[in-house]
Amino acid sequence: MIIIMLGAPGTGKGTVSGMLSNELNIPQVSTGDIFRKHINEHTELGELAEKYISKGQLVPDDVTIDLVKDRLQQQDVQSGVILDGFPRTVKQAEALDNMLENMNKNVSMTINLTTPEKELIERIVNRRQCPNCKASYNLVLNPPKKENICDKCGHELTKRKDDNKDTFKDRLKTYFNQTSPLVDYYEKQNKLYSALVSQSINKMGKDVTKDVVEYIKKNHIT
C-alpha cells in the first residue's frame, strides 16, 4: 500500500501519518524529516537543503527525487509506505509514478488535508518537538506537562527554524504555487481523499485517521 500525504504546512501530515503508520503497520517516510536529519548531521545534502528550507522554498526536484528513489529501494518499505511530504511538484509526482511502475506498484491513495489558514499559523508558531523521541507538542493545545521538557522521554524540546511567521508565509506561498496542482493531478486519477482537519469543526488528526482506515477497508484499497 502506498499512501501519499498532501497538504499545506501545518495541516497535520506528520501527525496523521504517524497514527496511520501505527494503524496500518507500514512505515512513514517524511522527506522533511530526512532533510532535517541531514542538516543536523552537517552533511553535504543538509547544507544544500538548508538553503531552501530556511527560505520556505522547495529543495530542487532532482535532489529530492533521487533521495526518495533510494529510500523506496529499502527493505522496510516493500510492503507499504506512507509518503509524508512527497511528491510536492508535478515533476516529483510523475517521477514517483515512473519509479513505482518499474517496481510493479502504484499509488494506492492520496490524503489531502485542509485547514483554515488562521489555524495553521497558530499551530506552526506554537509547535515544539522532541529531537530524541520525535513527540510533537503545541504550546496552546497540547503543552508538555513540564515547560520545554518532553513528557515521554524527558529530553529538552526544540523549535523548528522554519516555524516562524515569515518563513511560514513563504512555505504557504510555495505550497499554493507548486504543490496544490497535485490535488488535480490525483483527483484525475481518482486517487484523492480529502479531509478537513480543523478545530472549528472539532475534527482532529485521530478522527481523520479513523475515517481513512474505514475508507481503506470499505474500498478494499491495497
Site for Mg ion, rule CB under 5 A: 14
71 catalytic, yes or no? no
Binding region for ligand AP5 (CB under 6 A) out of 29-37, 69-77, 97-105, 188-196:
29-37
Binding region for ligand AP5 (CB under 6 A) out of 19-27, 53-61, 98-106, 181-189:
53-61
Q: Which three cell numbers stand for residue 80?
A: 507499504
64 binds, among Mg ion, ligand AP5, none (CB under 5 to 8 A by kind): ligand AP5
- Residue of 13, 36, 123, 128 with catalytic role: 13
141 binds, among ligand AP5, Mg ion, none (CB under 5 to 8 A by kind): ligand AP5
Q: Are strands 81-84 and 28-30 parallel, antiparallel or unpaired?
A: parallel
- Residue of 36, 88, 123, 128 with catalytic role: 88
The answer to whether the bond into 87 is cis (omega within 30° of 0) is: yes
What is 138-194 written as a DSSP string?
A: ETTTB--SSTTB-TTT-PBPB--TT-SHHHHHHHHHHIIIIITHHHHHHHHTT-EEE
Q: Is 15 exposed, middle or buried (0-12, 13-18, 19+ CB in 10 A)?
A: buried
Q: Which of 29, 197, 212, 216 binds ligand AP5 (CB under 6 A)?
A: 197
With binding defined as CB under 6 A, does residue 38 bind ligand AP5?
A: no
Q: Which helix (H) or strand (E) holds 6?
A: strand 2-7
Binding region for ligand AP5 (CB under 6 A) out of 13-21, 71-79, 95-103, 143-151:
13-21
Query: What are the strands, taking DSSP E only, across 96-191?
Result: 109-114, 127-129, 136-138
Asked whether the beta carbons of 123 and 205 are under 8 A apart, the reply is no
Instruction: Say how far apart CA 7 and CA 83 lie, in whole Å.
Output: 12
158 binds, among Mg ion, ligand AP5, none (CB under 5 to 8 A by kind): none
What residues are annotated to the active site? 13, 88, 127, 160, 171
Residues that bind ligand AP5 (CB under 6 A): 7, 9-15, 30-32, 35, 52-53, 56-59, 64, 85-88, 92, 123, 127, 136, 138, 141-142, 171, 197, 199, 204-205
